[in-house]
Structure 1
Amino acid sequence: MTPELIATDVDGTLLDDDEDVSPRTRAAIRAAVDAGTQFVLATGRPPRWITPVVEQLGFAPMAVCANGAVIYDPAADRIVSARTLSSDVLGELAEIAARVIPGAGLAVERVGRSAHDAATPQFVSSPGYEHAWLNPDNTEVSVEDLLGAPAVKLLIRKAGARSADMAAALARHIGIEGDITYSTNNGLIEIVPLGISKATGIEELARPLDIDAANIVTFGDMPNDVPMLDWAGLGVAMGNAHPDALAAADEVTATNAEDGVARVLERWWRD
């Protein structure tokens, strides 16, 4: 059956190792969209990091951001919906993080009405927070201020640690406070509201279109992709994927550097 909706992770999946959408992948996606298939980005990225992807695609698909906590419409630059961790829950999580992973830094992602809402400082970090990526765009505040407003995602960062080890340690202490995941093994944990994942975000977009999970294909490479790989009718892991993603997928394609997404889509659509 031809898929009615395609949802793909961005980093390590849609983008190659130079953070580009290859011409072959772009053409395969364009052919699917031209045939009437829905296309959705499903990423841990915040809305403000979606524009470069949209520019490379050549069109503006709906985006599931912050691991499912935010639905963003880049065509209108509008936050459609946001699920948040309350200040009380953030406080509980911060206490657990300090106890279980001493010395870890904290940061939160917040959203306003648009991707670059100047009224809302969007990436807020604790003093001395060591970033896991280049070119950070954070506002450094006290821990009290960091925890003082709802956030769509809490980040726990320990330079030199392994995310998998951090997740295992935190999982013994975090239950109803939120769901733990990670998109890099570089000492960075992401916590989203309980029950929220890329799968729930995609389902939120698919439901009004009357598209069932059975008619959806998803692509991913990291543990934060596991829920959507497991949920979709066809979950495809990249050849470069984390073992958890490989285990959750129905099949494995080539790597992100070898047009893995395009190789699957070309079964149904070619430019």
Structure 2
Amino acid sequence: MDKPLLIASDVDGTLLSPAETLTDRTIAVVRRAVDGGVPFVLVSGRPPRWMAPIAQPLGLDGYAVCANGAVLYEVGTDTVIAVHGLLEPELLHDAASALDKVLPGCRLAAERINAGAGAADHEMRNFVIEPDYHNPWGDGEGRTSPRAEVLGKPAIKLLISRRGMRSDEMALAAREVLGHAVDVTYSSNSGLIELAAHGVTKATGLAEVAERLGVAGERIIAFGDMPNDLDMLSWAGHGVAMANAHPAVLEIADEVTGPNAEDGVAQVLERWF
């Protein structure tokens, strides 16, 4: 493609190395692109409060798409600009009841946020978890609460953990019982899936950023590695899969770059920057 006018990248498994760090090579090429006037947008399943440690070394202070498209966040001002697709308590309870039948023993967590707030809202308690909820990125975050409290307020996503199962197995079972009431995705195959409002994806979040910045979709390059990146890579003018990507991502990508262990994002961006 021609030199992109906007760069979008997933974070975990894509921009970060397997050690979950930013390499000097990746930092350098992203900074060159930004200094050259090309916006670089982080597009992640992460909540806003997890974005600053990634954005700061890269020199990013603009938009980030968080929670798989549910949240538009401005890094420099620490402001949640927009929230899309809240899951209401009735829907959360219905989904939890259905999931208990096909994923017995599963544990739930809810991510919450308000437009106009900062990344961390201590009064809201952004992340509430059931006892024994397991996070593949490390336990220790979240307020442990009874299930009724986890499901009792609107959420931007519901997370379901099930020890001893793969995420792809869980997603298949969940889709069979939930239908199109919600969208089911995952960004790790370590026994964790996520439910979001139907139609809210990384692609819709990136499209909102592109509209705000006045950039046509065909002039955007996007990088990803997991099923929650599929819509974004298909929507962007040039979708790039990491060599370590899920097979479904490799199948739809316009290009496959090196793995995140070999600076695959930088390998592509160095053509122009």
Gaps of 5+ in 1: none
Letter in 2 for 1:188: L
SS of the equivalent of 1:226 reads helix
SS of the equivalent of 2:13 reads helix
Q: Give the TM-score of the pair, scaled to structure 1.
A: 0.96
Q: Render the CA deviation track for 1:22-75: whole Å, top value 9, x for unaligned.
A: 111111111111121111000011111111102221332311011111111111
Deviation at 1:175, TM superposition (A): 2.4
2:216 alignment counterpart: 212
Decide which of 92, 110, 134 is 1:90's aligned counterpart.
Answer: 92
SS of the equivalent of 1:172 reads helix
Alignment of 1:159-174 (within 5 A): 159-174=163-178
Letter in 2 for 1:261: V
1:203 alignment counterpart: 207
Alignment of 1:16-55 (within 5 A): 16-55=17-56
Is the contact made by 1:20 and 1:56 (CA closer than 8 Å) also made in structure 2? no
Deviation larger for 35-44 or 169-178: 169-178
1:264 alignment counterpart: 268
2:144 alignment counterpart: 140
Letter in 2 for 1:96: A
Deviation at 1:135, TM superposition (A): 4.2
**Inter-partner Cα distance in structure 2 for 1:58 and 1:119:** 30
Alignment of 1:154-193 (within 5 A): 154-193=158-197
1:68 alignment counterpart: 69
SS of the equivalent of 1:176 reads coil
Q: How many residues align?
A: 269
Q: Give the TM-score of the pair, scaled to structure 2.
A: 0.95
Q: Render the CA deviation track for 1:136-176: whole Å, top value 9, x for unaligned.
A: 31111111111110001100110110100111111112123
The runs of 4+ residues in structure 1 deviating greater than 3 Å are none
**Inter-partner Cα distance in structure 2 for 1:59 and 1:172:** 40
**Inter-partner Cα distance in structure 1 for 2:123 and 2:41:** 27
Is the contact made by 2:60 and 2:75 (CA closer than 8 Å) also made in structure 1? no
**Inter-partner Cα distance in structure 2 for 1:162 and 1:57:** 33
Is the contact made by 1:163 and 1:185 (CA closer than 8 Å) also made in structure 2? yes
Residue 110 (structure 2) pairs with residue 108 (structure 1): yes
Letter in 2 for 1:200: T
Percent of residue pairs identical? 48
Deviation at 1:208, TM superposition (A): 2.1
SS of the equivalent of 1:173 reads helix
Deviation at 1:250, TM superposition (A): 0.5
Q: Render the CA deviation track for 1:85-140: whole Å, top value 9, x for unaligned.
A: 11111111111111111110011111141111111111111222233221431111
**Inter-partner Cα distance in structure 2 for 1:167 and 1:135:** 21
Is the contact made by 1:54 and 1:61 (CA closer than 8 Å) also made in structure 2? no
Superposed CA RMSD in Å reads: 1.1
Is the contact made by 2:242 and 2:258 (CA closer than 8 Å) also made in structure 1? yes
Decide which of 150, 153, 156 is 1:149's aligned counterpart.
Answer: 153
Is the contact made by 1:220 and 1:238 (CA closer than 8 Å) also made in structure 2? yes
**Inter-partner Cα distance in structure 2 for 1:226 and 1:63:** 18
**Inter-partner Cα distance in structure 2 for 1:54 and 1:105:** 31
**Inter-partner Cα distance in structure 1 for 2:98 and 2:89:** 14
Letter in 2 for 1:2: K
SS of the equivalent of 2:266 reads helix
Gaps of 5+ in 2: none
